[in-house]
Structure 1
């Protein structure tokens, strides 16, 4: 009898708890009705090629939705080949305000749409691909932006300049490679740039052990190619490289620390170092960075940061930033020329979308100020799409 009383009391308490729900227990479903539009400026035509696949093609941006209450809004970028989005594919998701797509992404969409870069086929070399942004708040209905049409056009390939290599790139990892070290987080690449030729602008350092090794596969220690691998194959190797004579007989860099244009020619069997070299089409070959916010430069012309032209109007490269002291700096169009400086307002007034880790220092020269976390970032200045990004 006592047990039955206890059970009854428990059931009564349960019913009483459920009956005491207040307004605080009601689940609020946010309504996502404000207008959703892209805020970036689109080009009339986007030129693509396999050679520039790693470049940023477009950075889609928008303003945050205002739903009246603090809540998480999820944005999804969709693409469609048909234009009616019955074939909608999600190509990017973010809770922020931008999603970037590469030239390689555009290449894939152009191929899907039936185009190619061969002038001798019946396939078109230019197609339209359609994009829209979807925002979703809580369990509410999705909201969509107006459709944006993007025209993608192939750079015509005659076949004469097509680079043919056994691999797409060779990877470099080691203490002698400035922005890599012995880690697979940021390995450096020498990409296939000619028949049997791999090349790239690589920063080397003679500090610490200064050793490194080439690899044929990313994140695969077993794919390494050390100094004897090339020496025994009859390669003529730049004098600034030696056998490290360590356990793995790695390469040892013995030159001055800095940025070099590295070329591995597997046909003529040479490994050479030269001055940084532009590999794209830009107004300048190199943009220089100087200032206290740039760890490797400071306010000195002895070791300025160099962003090399490596795409259509694109300057890029790895940079060490520090968020200490003034943390200010400026870009320059000419080496050792203070009068060639380009400060924050120069880009802001020209309509550039500037990475939020950079702001106006509001000093005498209105320099850039780095306000992100101290460390290394892959920096891209895109003069065509007018963006400055730190990744």
Structure 2
């Protein structure tokens, strides 16, 4: 997971159209946003695509809000293509939010269109590039549309050899409950919108993930799949919302949080030991590259729309691993994340992250993909 931040300058379409007219004759004219459409999320160096994990989140694309200067919602469309020219493309999703999750299956479909395969007898047949872009537009019919496009985002993808696939697939369970709407995940108590937790390896039952449990009175359950409530796990307590730290599948109640309140939680579940733990977290950075050094944290802010923690501040040049910054939770060292070997892969308790030069930086921390945590450090 490389700390690459991609910034794309939009193509500005010089189009105007009448968006709406009120009874007094006022006319709102849509005009392209001079800021354009810009991707703001970081991406991995390469995405490994496995058919067995097609439903898993591969990436959450995030971009800025576009202002066409009219009182009508702006629609956003993510397009995927096998060539940078987008002569032909697939529409991955459409909506009014400025982010969209893209699954492994979405990327896998494009990779196969591009001619990639996983035949081990062919030299490197399974690595190539696919492309994404955002279309922002207002207007409904073909004659009354003003639109802008981001630059093409090139993504490197790899299809593992068929015999390797089962060895590297991480099992998942899912958290469902009355927090899904408030947390920005979807509809409450809907298995398809449940939040995944991932095990450390195939055959292991130690599931982990971060979940924004945004509810005043949290209630949740753990599902073996995100298709139904069959085989669901709940708390062993007597009342819905109890937290005992133990789970069962028969006679269970809806689980709660340790203090009965919502928050951004690290959730650990062991379906063999029938235990679970929930640690409420609030994230910040610390280090001698920050204005307060190693004495105190600088708090980050969580955005439920993008599922990302972020902040902007001045940093000084520092060389890792002895210096730099780290991410930590709750102003304490009990839960901290770094980057061993400066390879972009985040580890709990990992090494400090270096800062290449003095400047003002935007820092992001993305914990939304279980056990595939990433960050970005971008000089402004």
TM-score range, shorter chain: 0.3 to 0.5
Higher relative contact order (CA 8 A, sep 6+): 2
Normalized per residue, which structure has more helix? 1
TM-score under structure 1 length normalisation = 0.46
Q: Which structure has the greater CA radius of gyration?
A: 1
